Every structure is written in structure tokens, then in C-alpha cells.
Chains A and B, each alone.
Chain A
Amino acid sequence: AQKVTQAQTEISVVEKEDVTLDCVYETRDTTYYLFWYKQPPSGELVFLIRRNSFDEQNEISGRYSWNFQKSTSSFNFTITASQVVDSAVYFCALMGSNFGNEKLTFGTGTRLTIIP
């Protein structure tokens, strides 16, 4: 069975601070994919990033960066110089490659509030 744990239920930071959202996953698949989605107050899930299990390079996209560490089964997400528009619920998700795991398994989400 696959599992994604986002231990941080809610985080509040003051605008311009950096913030890291934690994600820990469990899977027995050797090939799998990790995702982050953003759900703003409007409700629609917005794709942020996808990484496959063979690519452990960290990735940076503007103010966003992701740290994938297979050794600790973690895929953490950092926002630098946070802005009010970053306020949303963020979901980490896992998709495996074996039959029955070919679907997104989501964590419970982290509600991020950026205080102006």
C-alpha cells in the first residue's frame, strides 16, 4: 500500500519569510512519481511539480524549490520570500507503477497562511 504523510496540518508565516512543507512517502514500487499540488481558496487543484524516483536532482522554479531524498523517503517543498498569494492548501502525492498503485495517493495537505 502507498502512503503519503504531511505532518504539518497548518503553517503561518509572515510575508517574505521562507517556509518548508514536509512530505514523507511510503511505497514498495521501485518506479514511482511524486507530485505537489496547490489548492487555492478557489478550490481547483493546480499542478506544481512531478518527479520520478530515478531523478533525485533538486529542482528550483522561481521562488519554489523541491528537495527529493530517496534515503529518507522525503520530498519537501520550500517557498522562499513567501507572498500572500502563496496562501493555499498544498498536497503532496505519490503515484506508483505497479497495478493498483497507478493513481494519486494524496497526503492530508498543509494549509499555508502568509500573513501580510
Chain B
Amino acid sequence: GAGVSQSPSNKVTEKGKDVELRCDPISGHTALYWYRQSLGQGLEFLIYFQGNSAPDKSGLPSDRFSAERTGGSVSTLTIQRTQQEDSAVYLCASSPDYILSKQYFGPGTRLTVL
């Protein structure tokens, strides 16, 4: 079956522009997670959704970052007024529920802010 998909696979943007990153989880998975992987910070948690609600937004680096999930499926991570330090690979994962299940990761979106 289809795995987690993310789009775009690569995004190059200029400093100050807004970007939207999309994640399509595995069908039926209720939990969805966003992580960021960068050279300086390793793999870090950003936010997770249980259904359409986000119980834990503690990992979002600043108020320039926001995420939403609609219909319990697709999620969008938006970064406003991008900065060079936002350059990283943004990973999405989904799981049938949280805590108990393993997370299935997508291929990631590589964001480069010039």
C-alpha cells in the first residue's frame, strides 16, 4: 500500500518568503507528526496531531511556524517569513494511533532558504 508522501520533495525559497509543506499520511492513520532534521540540531520534534487537533505544539520553533490538519488526513506545515536557519529536511510521520504504534516516515521535504 501507499506510504506517507510529502510534497514538494525539494523547495528553494528566498529569505522572507512564506512556504507550505504538505504531508499525506497513510490512509486510516489517526496520528500525524512533523519533525525537522538539520545539521546543527539533529532530528527534532515539531508538532503532532491526533485527528485534527494538535495536543502538543511545544516543538514549534517560533510563531512563524504553524500547522493544520483537515479531515483527519492531509497536513500542511507553514513557515512564514522564512529565515536561513529554517533550512532543513522536514519529515512527516503517521501512525495508526500514538504511543503504541510505530511511526511510518515520509521521504521528507528539503527546504533551502537563500
Contact = CB atoms under 8 A, between A and B. Distances in A.
Interface of A: 33, 35, 37, 42-47, 50, 91, 93, 95, 97, 99-100, 102-109
Contacts of A50: 102
A113 B43 CA distance: 20
Q: What 8 A-B pairs have minimum CB-CB distances, sorted nearest first?
A: A106-B43, A45-B105, A103-B45, A47-B102, A108-B42, A44-B107, A50-B102, A103-B48
Contacts of A33: 99-100
A103 to B, nearest CB: 4
Contacts of B56: 99-100, 102-103
A99 B56 CA distance: 8
Interface of B: 33, 35, 42-45, 48, 55-56, 58-59, 89, 91, 93, 98-100, 102-108
Which of A35, A47, A104 has its CB near the most chain B CB atoms (within 10 A)?
A: A104
Given A45-B91, A108-B42, A102 B104 contact: no
A109 B42 contact: yes
A43 B108 contact: yes
Contacts of B35: 104, 106
30 contacts: A35-B102, A37-B105, A42-B107, A43-B107, A44-B106, A44-B107, A44-B108, A45-B105, A46-B105, A47-B105, A93-B43, A95-B99, A99-B55, A99-B56, A100-B56, A100-B58, A102-B55, A102-B56, A102-B98, A102-B99, A103-B33, A103-B56, A104-B33, A104-B43, A104-B45, A106-B35, A106-B44, A108-B42, A109-B42, A109-B43
A48 to B, nearest CB: 9
Contact of B48 (A35, A44, A102): A102
